[in-house]
Chain A
């Protein structure tokens, strides 16, 4: 604990003077250097979101190429080699470069605001994680541009991705890109856990945490527990390919199915890593637009935690046809079915909230309604594929393609788009267009269902996944053409969305601090928030701390204004514990990220890269942690 009396405190200061001093200490310098060295969670979060949406657009273009090729039987627009790269890129890009990062990016921006603090925990690690993520994304896409894109599927099953059948560096690019994105995801997860546990505003005890923050907390624990499995898997794969180890070589005592276990032990929680943040978004939007708190707060939190725990007991349902013992499969059928219970609970709670509330049909709420319609279908088809016999017929067919698009697009992208409409004023200070928003919702909702619903039927008609073409005698061409045409509607919706987002960011109408009349803390500050988030840290005395007058939020004072300082609080009751310095801007996270990039890419080509590449990395880390003699170094 710091002693009283050191430094200049905010207690004795009035509004404008406080603003001037806080701005001086918290703001990011303009210019190139400032942009490269900033550790402001809002700037990094915005960057993260923007980058993730760029990857979404790129992945969307790939999906259109896929639909072009499949629009007619034995089409020759794209050859098998390129097609395999395209569908692998689509899956990898959407899962690793879009879905997980975008959810974490929203959290980077929103969680510190929602818990009422001034910056995320470990802000330099946050900057580092963004640069590593960007490098991983560039690695994948540049490799694809020069025809070295991975062509082994986003799941990269061995032996196809192994040393004997995966010629060249394509599979290594995939495996190393995993390392990049997982490092960044793990970093963000740790930051969020610590932010939520230790930096909540005074009085925000566990039962007053907003549901979105709860969902991100559970998600972050899932990331921390699931991602190491995939990093072990991808590193073993690179070792097999580069050094000649035998993790996955049956002839030398390795096992092909080991890969699948490791991959899906990560891969199934991955679905919930994407879905749980969306649940939090839905809860937030529902609460705001029904003008009441979400029904059954405790039940919702328990459902989130239950989903998170069960998520680790389902992975074998991706391997039902691999020839595992029947008894084991039965267990995973039961657990996969069981996860429908917490999911159902959440659905019913939202329905109850709508029933008891007074819905306002703005665009974010429309996306939530779309989510309900689509996600319930995805959840029900999930129950179907949880059954072993059912799955033997639909596994690896277009039925599954339809299922997981219903879950991931319906369950995560719809809430995300709603969330973008909802929080856009906070991010940019400007509103998105309500008129265009309705059109966009209509196009995406219609396009999505027309595109993906028929895939259920195609799957039952025997069309497998990942085929680059099909023969004219198969009865699939009519539906495939229909799907390809519908995809155009869907793409048009997304195109309009991007147009609206860019246009609104430049010239949308100015947003007030709390345009929706929401009840969570991020709306207690201006839109966009000042660099220091809150002039005085808010104090929370109930679940929905905001009333109609945001000035009425009680605040705490006593923080220093001559250095970056925030308040740490206890885990359960969030009673204030200490004033803690928050690190200032630094360029070293960027250098460290570049050194990591060098080492990771080099290690695709030589195992010695891990040895020699660690030297520049060590140098950058020393620079990162070296005391600079600034006030933040004290305590």
Chain B
């Protein structure tokens, strides 16, 4: 009697365990965050080869970017690194907490050069007219991609699952994982700062 129960309960374990494993593995695999601490130098160099439309808006990233699974947009580790770079490289001095200042806002739903990663990468790397400096010589291309992914995340209307949370600082706006662009949308487009000059 006891033998019977224990053997059948073993079968239940096996079954429930396998099912649970498979289901949870699939769900979690979706959100998994492999951490690439050292991008291979050739891959990193290749990330530089973005193709831009002649007007500098939109274009296509290199094939290798898709091959590695677009990590800079969806991977928590890279996004959080991007957030640190945002602070370290003084982005806030012009763009504030993302709501703009001397530079444009990322939260008002208006992307001067479109919301594609390549446009943002190009803006950071090569600079843009009316005051955006080029960071080509101050950051590595991997860092530029990390930062671009973070900048895109700030302005994302639908908060990304992997978006970073608040910093241990004074809070000025909802953190990225709360979807600040969506929450703050009611304030309306901030428009272009007077110093910014005409839109391109």
Contacts and interface: CB of A to CB of B under 8 A. Distances in A.
- Tell whether A and B belong to one assembly: yes
A46 B7 CA distance: 12
Given A138-B17, A142-B21, A241-B165, A429 B2 contact: yes
B17 to A, nearest CB: 7
Contact of B166 (A32, A38, A164): A164
B192 interface: no
Contacts of B76: 167-169
B8 A34 contact: yes
Interface in B6-51: 6, 8-9, 11-13, 15, 17, 20-21, 24-25, 28-29, 31-35, 37
Interface in A215-256: 240-244, 246, 248-252
A81 B37 contact: yes
Interface size class of chain A, counting residues whose CB lies under 8 Å from the partner chain: 35 or more
B134 to A, nearest CB: 28
Q: Which of A135, A142, A242 has the most B CB atoms < 10 Å from its CB?
A: A142
B77 interface: yes
Contact of B33 (A164, A168, A246, A601): A168
A168 B77 contact: yes
A434 interface: no
A167 B79 contact: yes
A35 interface: yes
Contact of B31 (A148, A159, A167): A148
Contacts of B80: 164, 167-168
Interface stretch (B52-60, B95-103, B118-126, B169-177): B169-177
A605 interface: yes
A528 interface: yes
Given A43-B5, A43-B9, A168-B77, A146 B164 contact: no
B112 interface: no
Contact of A163 (B20, B21, B32, B164): B164
Given A138-B20, A244-B175, A148 B168 contact: no
B1 interface: yes
Given A167-B76, A252-B170, A148 B32 contact: yes
Contacts, number: 116
B9 A47 contact: yes
B183 to A, nearest CB: 11
Contacts of B171: 244, 246, 252
Given A143-B28, A147-B33, A159 B168 contact: yes
Interface in B152-170: 161-162, 164-170
Given A163-B175, A168-B77, A138 B2 contact: no
A139 interface: yes
Interface stretch (A23-31, A367-375, A447-455): A23-31
A147 B32 contact: yes
Given A30-B5, A169-B31, A242 B24 contact: no
A36 B166 contact: no
B12 to A, nearest CB: 5
Contacts of A135: 20
A162 interface: yes
B25 A142 contact: yes
A167 B8 contact: no
Nearest to B76: A168
Given A28-B5, A145-B25, A244 B168 contact: no
Contact of A167 (B33, B37, B168, B178): B33
Contacts of B13: 47
B32 A244 contact: no
A244 B177 CA distance: 9
A79 interface: yes
B35 A81 contact: yes
Q: Which of B11, B174, B175 has the most A CB atoms < 10 Å from its CB?
A: B175
Nearest to A47: B9
Contacts of A146: 25, 28-29, 32
Given A79-B37, A148-B28, A167-B79, A35 B8 contact: yes
B138 interface: no
Contact of B9 (A35, A162, A246, A250): A35
Nearest to A43: B5
Nearest to B175: A244
A597 B123 CA distance: 45
Nearest to B35: A81
Interface in A3-35: 27-28, 30-32, 34-35
A243 B167 CA distance: 12
B168 A164 contact: yes
A164 B165 contact: yes
A359 to B, nearest CB: 33
A295 B168 CA distance: 56
Interface string B94-118: 0000000000000000000000000
Given A81-B37, A244-B174, A168 B162 contact: yes
Interface in A413-431: 429
Contacts of B12: 32, 35-36
Q: Which of B11, B29, B81, B168 has the most A CB atoms < 10 Å from its CB?
A: B168
Interface string B170-192: 11001101100000000000000
Contacts of A81: 35, 37
A167 B175 CA distance: 13
B162 to A, nearest CB: 7
Interface in B50-79: 76-77, 79
Contacts of A46: 6
Given A28-B5, A34-B5, A139-B24, A249 B32 contact: no
Given A147-B32, A163-B167, A38 B8 contact: no
A30 B165 CA distance: 50
A31 B8 contact: yes
A14 B118 CA distance: 86
Given A27-B1, A35-B8, A138-B17, A163 B166 contact: yes
Contacts of A36: 12
B37 A142 contact: no
B150 to A, nearest CB: 12
A38 B177 CA distance: 43
Contacts of A244: 165-166, 171, 174-175, 177-178
B28 A249 contact: no
Q: Which of B28, B162, B167, B170 has the most A CB atoms < 10 Å from its CB?
A: B28
30 contacts: A30-B4, A32-B12, A32-B15, A35-B8, A35-B11, A35-B12, A43-B6, A81-B35, A138-B20, A138-B24, A139-B24, A146-B29, A147-B32, A147-B33, A147-B35, A148-B31, A163-B165, A163-B175, A167-B76, A167-B79, A167-B80, A169-B31, A240-B165, A240-B166, A244-B174, A244-B175, A244-B178, A246-B166, A251-B168, A429-B2
Across the A-B interface, the 8 shortest Cβ-Cβ residue pairs: A163-B165, A168-B76, A167-B80, A35-B9, A168-B33, A244-B166, A146-B32, A142-B24
Given A46-B6, A148-B33, 20 more contacts: A28-B5, A32-B12, A35-B8, A43-B5, A43-B6, A47-B9, A47-B13, A81-B35, A138-B20, A138-B21, A142-B28, A147-B35, A163-B168, A164-B164, A164-B167, A167-B79, A167-B164, A168-B80, A244-B178, A249-B168
